[in-house]
Amino acid sequence: MKVLVVNCGSSSLKYQLVDMTDESVLAKGLVERIGIEGSILKHEKTGIDKVVIEKPMEDHKVAIGLVLDALVDEKHGAVKDMSEIAAVGHRVVHGGEKFNESVVITDEVMEAIEACSELAPLHNPANLMGINACKELMPTTPMVVVFDTAFHQTMPKESYIYALPYELYENYGVRRYGFHGTSHKYVSERAAEFIGEKVEDLKIITCHLGNGASLAAIKDGKCLDTSMGFTPLEGLVMGTRCGDIDPAILTFVKDKENLDSNEINDLINKKSGVLGISGVSSDFRDIENAAEEGNERAQLALDIFDNRVRKYIGSYAATMGGVDVVVFTAGLGENSISNRADICNGLEFLGIKIDKDKNNIRGKDAVISTDDSKVKVLVIPTNEELMIARDAQALLK
């Protein structure tokens, strides 16, 4: 069975064609600047050089049409015929409280995703555009949606209710939802498999550290708590997002600088995080380089980032009554040797001990803790596309 995985943004689209017989990637690619001048498709058949297709793409339907053409192309395609694509798996950011697992797309599901758009105005409408375009171009192919929020729906009320008037939850759905769920689920399951244990027997803390970053406390395979909240802004310090702050700062700064709601949103989403602290960049590589060259604010940004991750690890160990496994994933978690070491430095009291040599790896499944470390620490590269393809296969079987 071959599954096409589609992850659609407002002006971009990522895709992967996965062969489920051995879970190999047959082809993948990225479309950028949909609906903007300079639309571009970069397509790559596994083992063959990238092709770049530059054509006007006024909307997602045109973009997906070009992706499908590339997938069946004689030279750089991966299937002979579209009928070989047995299913499409779509990533959708917000499933609200309605979806605690992936589902096959029906009219009712489409309406429910639309209803959740209010909670993810930048993401769900774009996801829907991708689904609609695929439905038009592949009317007989079954489609599945996988939600970023679904894995976190097992959280108990004490984790997801905010200390605000309860009516805000009842009337508007103001609560913690959590994001990166597909990644947290994948790396927790893969980590358990990698160390030869059952995920149901473990207390796992997963650290998804990329541009966007979140942690999850996963006990017996179920999410108990996660650091992102009503939106993907809460929790850790991120590339450009502030994470946890005193909410009173917002009204204070709003008045001082005479900002409107949009400008405040911009400030906390796009100008804060390690970019805001360091003034250097939102990219951790740039910040690590600057810190090495003696830039104090870059070093401060890294220290604040690490401290916040440590705080959450400690608090999630308390939430679960212990921790057996800590997993690092995503751009920074998979690749930054120094960052992993710095985060774990000081967590020895929890039974976390990193082996310097074992930690000297990037981007592959590995145990990086010492043999006598009570807690196993792992690096597991995330693979949300594979998780989506697996869910599609499971639902359509």
Residues at the contact surface with ligand ADP, assessed by CB under 6 A? 210-212, 239, 283-285, 288, 330-332, 335-336
Q: Which is nearer to ligand ADP, 55 or 285 (CB)?
A: 285
Q: Which is nearer to ligand ADP, 288 or 324 (CB)?
A: 288
Q: Which is nearer to ligand ADP, 160 or 284 (CB)?
A: 284
Q: Rounded to the nearest whole angstrom, what is the least distance from the CB of residue 72 to ligand ADP in the complex?
A: 29
DSSP of 56-76: ---SHHHHHHHHHHHHH-TTT
Q: Rounded to the nearest whole angstrom, what is the least distance from the CB of residue 248 to ligand ADP in the complex?
A: 28
The C-alpha atoms of residue 21 and residue 393 are separated, in whole angstroms, by 11
Report the DSSP beta bridge partners of residue 329: 208
Q: Rounded to the nearest whole angstrom, what is the least distance from the CB of residue 240 to ligand ADP in the complex?
A: 10
| Active-site residue, from 107, 148, 303, 372 | 148
148 given a catalytic annotation: yes
Sheet of 203-209, strands arranged across: 222-226, 213-219, 203-209, 325-329, 376-379, 366-367
Within the chain, strands assigned E span 2-8, 13-19, 24-32, 40-45, 51-53, 85-92, 103-104, 143-147, 203-209, 213-219, 222-226, 325-329, 366-367, 376-379
Beta 376-379 vs 325-329: how paired, if at all? parallel
CA distances from 27 to 2, 37, 42, 141, 260 (A): 11, 26, 11, 19, 45
Q: Rounded to the nearest whole angstrom, what is the least distance from the CB of residue 284 to ligand ADP in the complex?
A: 4
Q: Which is nearer to ligand ADP, 95 or 331 (CB)?
A: 331
Q: Which of 320, 238, 250 is nearest to 287 (CA)?
A: 238
What three-state secondary structure class fits 49?
Answer: coil
Q: Rounded to the nearest whole angstrom, what is the least distance from the CB of residue 208 to ligand ADP in the complex?
A: 8
Structure tokens at 198: 């059952």
Structure tokens at 33: 């600047």
392: Cβ contacts below 8 Å, ≥ 6 apart: 3, 5, 87, 88, 89, 102, 144, 146
Q: Which is nearer to ligand ADP, 183 or 369 (CB)?
A: 183
First-last CA distance in the chain: 10
Q: Rounded to the nearest whole angstrom, what is the least distance from the CB of residue 330 to ligand ADP in the complex?
A: 4
Q: Which is nearer to ligand ADP, 151 or 284 (CB)?
A: 284
- 217 CB burial (10 A radius; 0-12, 13-18, 19+): buried
Catalytic residue set: 148
